[in-house]
């Protein structure tokens, strides 16, 4: 008999350093997303504006899982800290209607050598 174990989502706290403040936010590490995303208004009521970004790179059209298209805006914060890793000037797509506050995509995970482990629902860093 085959037993299927439903896998949860991989979430970890990350720190976003903006021009106005730094903020710890729980992020979803999503192997189905290529880029990084952030919700314009976070679940605790705080906003991307209050963290402060120093680069705005224009509008961005994103394709959702259901095939529909939605609009976002490309921005860069000063720094993103994940565990003991740091990414300077990380790019995020800022959007209104995200289910999660922050989504970390595959591109950044590959570059920082972050390994998402669906079984333990944690991330590990490859040395």
Partner 1 sequence: MNLLAVVTTMPRTKVQLRTIPPPAEGTRTVFELQGLFPAFKGKGETDFVCGHCGQVLVEGIAGDAVIKNIVIKCPKCGNYNEIPHLSFAEVKQKIAVHLETALGVKDFKISYAKLEGNIWKINIEYSEKVGTLDLAKSGMFDLDAVTGEVLQFKRDSTWRF
Per CB under 8 A, residues contacting partner 1 are 19-24, 49-50, 52-59
Would you say 37 or 53 has its CB closer to partner 1? 53
Residues 6+ apart with CB under 8 A from 45: none
We find the least distance from the C-beta atom of residue 117 to partner 1, in angstroms, to be 28
Extract the tokens encoding 120: 């333990």
Q: Which of 93, 113, 87, 76 is nearest to 39 (CA)?
A: 93
We find the least distance from the C-beta atom of residue 73 to partner 1, in angstroms, to be 9
Would you say 7 or 20 has its CB closer to partner 1? 20
Would you say 34 or 56 has its CB closer to partner 1? 56
Extract the tokens encoding 37: 């995303």
CB-based contact 91:36 (threshold 8 Å): yes
We find the least distance from the C-beta atom of residue 119 to partner 1, in angstroms, to be 32
């Amino acid at each position: 008999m085959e037993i299927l174990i439903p896998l949860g989502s991989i979430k970890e706290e990350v720190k976003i350093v903006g021009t106005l403040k730094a903020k710890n936010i729980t992020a979803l590490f999503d192997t189905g997303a290529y880029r990084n995303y952030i919700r314009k208004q976070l679940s605790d009521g705080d906003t991307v504006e209050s963290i402060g970004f120093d680069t705005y790179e224009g509008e961005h059209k994103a394709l959702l899982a259901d095939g529909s298209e939605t609009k976002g805006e490309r921005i860069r914060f000063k720094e993103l800290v994940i565990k003991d890793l740091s990414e300077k000037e990380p790019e995020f797509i800022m959007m209104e209607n995200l289910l999660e506050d922050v989504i970390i995509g595959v591109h950044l995970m590959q570059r920082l050598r972050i390994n998402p482990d669906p079984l333990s629902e944690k991330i590990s860093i490859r040395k």
